[in-house]
Structure 1
Amino acid sequence: MSIDFPHVLEHFSLFLSALINNKVVLTILVTFLTLGVKYALVKTVRNRAISKGKDKRDLVNNIKNFLNFVMLFLLLSLWAGELQTFALSIAAFAVAIVLATREFIQCMIGFFYLASTRPFRIGDWVQVGDIVGEVSETDWMKSTLLEVDIHKYEYTGKTLFIPNNAMITNTIKNLNFLKRYATHHFNITRDQSVNPYLFIDQLQQKAELYCEDFKDVAHRYSQTIERRLDVKIAGPDPHINVSTSEVGDSVVTVAIFCPTERAIEIEQKLIKDFMTMWFAAKRSGNIAPIGGTELSPDDSQPVS
């Protein structure tokens, strides 16, 4: 039994022609093809990033948004005629449709605003209104943030989804320079029964000691920030100031330029040293006025 190849080819050509002319089939093919390419590219980039120990979330996010745009463009081109006919048929309801979908339209406009101005990148720490977090992903409708406690410089475990229109109506603060190093401020408040100037120099030495191992790196990083922002920032040396509160208590303000992951650790060490010195001075009765006798080395130790 012989096979009539020309006849088979003719039927196969007719079948392909029918598939090509069937917009529903083409829509499914374009969708699956684009999603397949996106999945393969994203997986490849992530695997290479893991093997090299690099953060490629920004590249992955851009790939996703680009291929989504390509898919949408192809589908709109495929159904352009039908969409035009449909649009003309509902011209009378155009205003109602715009009003009903204005939030979605604003979100899409917000996406183009973020894509054109680039106020942040994936992985940056940003503040939008009162919300602070690390940008993990953006798409046409929303931006995804991993919430960060800016006072402790750590993740809270919460994932925030912010509509892109909020990026237009709220001020965006890029806090990316705080992600690695930050000028950490904290106050220590006590009554005026002890003069803090008696041991403030010892506390300054303690602060410099705790910052000694990263002093060179902090100095270079602060210079990098100053060059990029063209402003003078505090640091990298620790600063300690003494003031009074509204009710007359002594307030010691400490500012240290340090790695964010060590800020709370150094704060606790300095508070411990301050309390040790303060209680030692109080128990020893060494409550001299400013310019009085300084604490002896033994006075800086707790009294048993």
Structure 2
Amino acid sequence: MFETLSFINLTATRIFHVLISNQIVLTIILISFVMLSKFLLVKLIHKKEKQNKRLKINMLDNAVTVLILIGIFNIWAVEFQKFAISIAAFTVAIVIATKEFIQCFIGFLYIISSRPFRIGDWIQVGDDYGEVHSNDWAKLTLLEVDIDAYEYTGKTLYLPNSKLITASIKNLNFLKRYAMHHFTITRDASVNPFIFLDGLYTKAYEYCADFNDVAIRYNQIIENRLDVNIAGPDPKIQVATSEVGDTQVLFTIFCPTDRAMDIEQSLTAVFMAFWFEQKQLQEKNIIDDKVESLT
């Protein structure tokens, strides 16, 4: 009995030493264990958490990546050292070849240290707009947003972290709820828009009346957080001319983003009605004047 236990113990010890010495097997075991733990934790997050699921899953993904990299480095440390020594003459070439990856990693460190945005924020990176879905050491994932219509396009953008170092980053998170919506209507110069400008203001205030109190509070919150004065929340209408002499009416409306396009369409319809009414009135007056001159 004692000899059997000794044999089993010796066999188990040898198997353990073989596994420890076999770095490939140990690497597979490490990755399998970490990925299984990640899978169980993701299920637990989906089951227990009702809010901020994407943020916690993204943090878990980054932690898993770091653990796997640290584990693999420790397992293969000796081989890495030998490999580094053997390619010492090619270090410069390797750095040049991996420049993009190094920049991506530096960009990732910049993001997690400065935190210019969070998961779920609307941001602009260069000419790209989107909602931050996730970020890891290599890339930033955005759900593309049409900033003119304040709605998702259905496309997903994958931006390398290196772009975060070279391109400007603008946090547009306040635009998720309220936006300073600008739009312009251009017509010929045959009608003077100042005639019905008061009517346009009346309609603009009417369309903004139901959310005016909330808009005032939100406008104050933005000013307090940014420590600057911004336009709004009252509607503003300006009249100008284009380069070719056409009349332009510029509207500025501080409103909920999900209602911006509806308000723009409503005010455009009102402007067109006023414009054509004034146009027809002017044409009628011209005809009446001609008739009077003939008589």
* TM score, norm. by length of structure 1: 0.87
Distance 1:275 1:9 in 2: 91
199 and 59 in structure 1: CA distance in 2 versus 1, 3 angstrom threshold? same
1:169 equivalent to 2:166? Answer yes
Aligned residue for 2:40?
40
Deviations 1:170-228 (A, max 9, x none): 11111111121100000111223222122211211111111112112222211111111
Aligned residue for 2:97?
100
Secondary structure of 2:249 counterpart? strand
The answer to whether the 8 A contact 1:46-1:60 is kept is no
Deviations 1:40-92 (A, max 9, x none): 2233223444xx3x343222212211221111111111211111111101111
Say which of 37, 62, 65 aligns to 2:62.
Answer: 65
1:197-276 mapped onto 2 (5 Å cutoff): 197-276=194-273
Distance 2:38 2:234 in 1: 48
Say which of 77, 88, 91 aligns to 1:80.
Answer: 77
Distance 2:234 2:72 in 1: 59
Task: Percent identity, please.
Answer: 55
Query: In terms of mean alpha carbon deviation, does 173-182 or 17-26 score higher?
Result: 17-26
- Aligned residues, how many? 285
Query: In terms of mean alpha carbon deviation, does 5-14 or 242-251 score higher?
Result: 5-14
Q: CA RMSD in A?
A: 2.1
186 and 287 in structure 1: CA distance in 2 versus 1, 3 angstrom threshold? farther
Aligned residue for 1:8?
8
1 or 2, which has the higher helix percentage?
Answer: 2
Say which of 188, 194, 208 aligns to 1:191.
Answer: 188
- Which consecutive residues of structure 1, in runs of 5 or more, have no partner in the other structure? 289-304
Deviations 1:136-169 (A, max 9, x none): 1211111111221111111222211111111101
212 and 3 in structure 1: CA distance in 2 versus 1, 3 angstrom threshold? farther
1:277 equivalent to 2:278? Answer no
Q: CA deviation at 1:2?
A: 11
Distance 2:193 2:76 in 1: 77
* TM score, norm. by length of structure 2: 0.90
Look up the equivalent residue of 1:140 and give its one-letter code: W
